[in-house]
Structure 1
Amino acid sequence: MLYHPDKNASNPEASELFKEVAYSYSILSDPEKRRQYDSAGFEALDADSMDMEIDLSNLGTVNTMFAALFSKLGVPIKTTISANVLEEALNGTVTVRPLPMGTSVSGKVEKQCAHFFGVTINEQQAESGIVVRVTSTAQSKFKLLYFEQDVNGGYGLALQEDSEKTGKVTSAGMYFLHFQVYRMDSTVNALAMAKDPEGAFFKRLEGLQPCEVSELKPGTHIFAVYGDNFFKTASYTIEAVCAKSHEDTTQKLKDIEAQILRKRNELRQFESEYRKALARYQEVTERYTKEKQSVDELLKQRDGIHSTFTIVKPSNISASGSNLSNGSSSKISGEDSKGESPGEDG
């Protein structure tokens, strides 16, 4: 808390220290990343993308509290899904509740547990497109999961979306609309900010990741809400929506996704131009400083030279003037005395 950027807006050193602490914690809390760091330093971590993902089941209470604190302060710490949840899904032993199209269900799920839902869609709905969204007005952390049917009758994890804070709620969504949609990986932005705060803007769209599934076939599809809070249960509302009744919104999403993708490419080009211009700016500002110092020095030297154009120093002029005046007076007095001599009169 002491070094958090919100409490040190005018102190960049404190902000940088906060980022370093968060960066270091992500290494210490992950055995694999710590092993990589011990063997090859930060370079190995950078090559591995530094995802900052931890398994809460391997953390003690103290470490969990630290993780919760960093998450509360805005550090995007990813968590893995409990192995028990994945195993139960693969075995087909989970309870699946129906979630009819056009309806919503609210509930609370324990941390590292999941509530499963079956969404059944017909051919027309599949053709129109489907959206499944989860929101939490309590701003709980959760994951939205999508499972595919396994050959053995169980369910294998196919997609997952971590909740993100959007306004006053946390939310996550999956959009099966027959065109490419993207999700934002916030850890990419966090790593860019830690490495290069000034250039982080150019990396804001680098976290865009294409969603692997863009459409669903008719039938029943399995989704789950996974509790991702560090201590408390996660409150949520899940809903399944057919895009047929949201055609205008669907088209707007398609357009904005294309615009954002183009903007990402534009930023990549602009970054190169910006850095060249910045380097040139730094070069000319350095020259400006040097030229100013040079001009000031030349003018100072000229003033010094001007001041040496004089016959004598002021103190000598005063003394010489005094002596000259006394000598003249003495000489003139002598001549006057000779003029008044009696011998010359006679």
Structure 2
Amino acid sequence: MADAGGQDTNTVVSRPNAGRRDPYEVLGLPRDATDQQIKSTYRKLALKYHPDKNTGNPEAAEKFKEVAYSYGILSDPEKRRQYDSAGFNAVDLEGLDMELDLSNLGTVNTMFAALFSAIRDDMLHFPSSKLGVPIKTTVSATVLEDALNGTVTIRPLPLGRPVNDKVEKQGANFFGITISEAQAEAGVVIRVVSNVQSKFKLLYFEQEENGGLGLALQEDSVKTGKVTSAGMYFLHFQVYRLDPTVNALAISRDPDAVFFKRLEGLQPCEMSELKAGTHIFAVYGDNFFKSASYTIEAICAEAYLETAVKLKEVEAQILSKRNELRQFEKEYRDVLARFQAVTNKYTQEKQAVDDLLKAREKIQESFTSVPTAPKKVSSTSNGKAVGEDSTVSADESESPTTEESSADKAKQSKKWFNLNFKSGIGSAGK
């Protein structure tokens, strides 16, 4: 199940049945509870035992695990049917794993990831992984609780009128967007842009039965060029988001996966259309140390029909390319494995040929009746033995010393001078 930000927040775990409480009892629901009742109750209990609000409280952590585990059963129609028919044994005996679903709480954040990794490891008795992978942050418990209690301030955001604003860190600005039947039919786009590259989230809330607001969708800002941006597209066709956290662990271990798994992060947006009426959105400050500056705008797609068509086409092309890459990856890895095998064999065969030629050379050298003459050792004027070492180069052994060379040159010069001098005298005499 995908979360509001597109991340797969299902942590698959298997738990023993001993000591496990009835999921309906844990959530305080009747057996004929509706899906909406299950979702709404889960949100409330998850917020109640939210780790932000229960730091250092192991009992709350256990409650949180139990609530999440129970919701994992009742939120899945097939698991719920199996449990209703024969309890936990029916689910476990058929080999179906339980899932901890946080999608309706506001997606997994760094702290949540650590918590649910601990939950999973506690259930499976696994040690936690220490690998660093990108994990999304979440909306604070305070914001979610205020929304659920209906105590947030909502400002109107007319279509086609951008609003520049600033939101404090870990805070949220709420906006109400009212659309007509015609505008809903044409489609609506909500976009938020930060020219100073602030980190933020674009949130969409649904109306709860108690009149409060429950987080339904979330889009994290991403850097595009010199700005950060996020958008939601309600255009009556499936739009996808690219979630970098999907397969992050595999990518961190395999350089080739950076390319091949890139499009695997495509996650379908949960909603493709809005009905006429007022809808609540919010911009959440995702910076930890400073406020986020942004511009939010709601646009009716009626004036952007051609653009909407292009978006639909490119979405289809990207999906097609993802399928092509899956097939190409298999071909690539098969060829790469063969190439590595051939390269290894080449290295081995080259070494084998070199070894054989060297062995033959040694054997050929043994075909002789002339014993190898030992080197004579004699002293020289400089105290070195002949054949003792040849650290001296050929130039050093054959060339005279600097002093000798200078003396020879002087003699040659003098002899040449005398000859010319005598010759000159002789000529003058004649």
Question: TM-score, normalised on structure 1?
Answer: 0.70
Identity, in percent, stands at 67
Contact 1:144–1:163 (Cα < 8 Å) also in 2:
yes
- Residue 36 of structure 1 deviates from its aligned partner by 4.0
Q: Which has the higher contact order (CA 8 A, sep 6+)?
A: 1
What corresponds to 1:146 in structure 2? Answer: 204
Give matches, 1:48-197, under 5 Å: 76-197=134-255
Is 2:122 aligned against 1:31? Answer: no
Q: Unaligned regions of 5+ residues in structure 2, if any? A: 1-109, 375-430
Aligned equivalents of 1:178 and 1:172: distance in 2? 19
Question: Normalised by the size of structure 2, how large is the TM-score?
Answer: 0.57
Residues 175-324 of structure 1 aligned to structure 2 (within 5 Å): 175-313=233-371, 315=373
How far apart are 1:91 and its partner, in Å?
2.2
The structure with the largest strand share of the pair is: 1
Distance in 2 (CA, whole Å) between partners of 1:254 and 1:136 is 25
Whole-angstrom CA distance in 2 between matches of 1:45 and 1:207? 21
Task: Determine if contact 2:113/2:135 at 8 Å carries over to the other structure.
Answer: no
Partners in 2 of 1:304 and 1:176 — Cα distance? 81
Q: CA deviation at 1:190?
A: 3.1
8 Å contact from structure 2 (residues 206, 280) kept in 1: yes
Question: What is the distance in 1 between the residues matched to 2:147 and 2:113?
Answer: 27
Q: Partners in 1 of 2:206 and 2:121 — Cα distance?
A: 36
- How many Å apart are 1:134 and its aligned residue? 0.6
Greater mean deviation of Cα atoms: 235-244 or 31-40 = 31-40
Instruction: Indicate how the Cα distance of structure 1 residues 45 and 209 shifts in structure 2: closer, same or farther if over 3 A, else same.
Output: farther
Q: Which runs of structure 2 are paired with 1:321-336 in the superposition (5 Å)?
A: none
Instruction: Assess if the C-alpha contact under 8 Å between 1:146 and 1:160 holds in 2.
Output: yes
Post-superposition CA distance 1:10-56 (Å, at most 9, x none): xxxxxxxxxxxxxxxx68982342454466335x769xxx9x8xxxx
Alpha carbons 1:27, 1:34 under 8 Å: kept: no
Q: 1:137 to 1:30 in 2, by over 3 A?
A: same
Shift of 1:181: 0.6
Residue 125 of structure 2 corresponds to which residue in structure 1? 40
Q: How far apart, in 2, do the equivalents of 1:199 and 1:257 lie? A: 22
SS in 2 for 1:107: strand
Change (3 A) 1:31 1:283: same
CA pair 85-272 structure 1, distance change in 2 beyond 3 A: same
Number of the residue aligned with 2:52:
none
TM superposition shift of 1:189 = 4.8
Q: Would the alpha carbon gap of residues 299 and 27 (structure 1) be closer, same or farther in structure 2, given more than 3 Å must change?
A: farther
CA gap of 1:252–1:190, structure 2 versus 1, over 3 A, is same
What is the deviation of 1:102?
0.9
SS at match of 1:92: coil
Distance (Å, rounded) in 1 between the aligned partners of 2:111 and 2:215: 26
Unaligned stretches of 5+ residues in structure 1: 1-25, 53-74, 317-346
Query: Deviation of residue 315 (structure 1)?
Result: 4.1
Task: Check 1:228–1:314 CA distance in 2 against 1; reply closer, same or farther (3 A cut).
Answer: closer
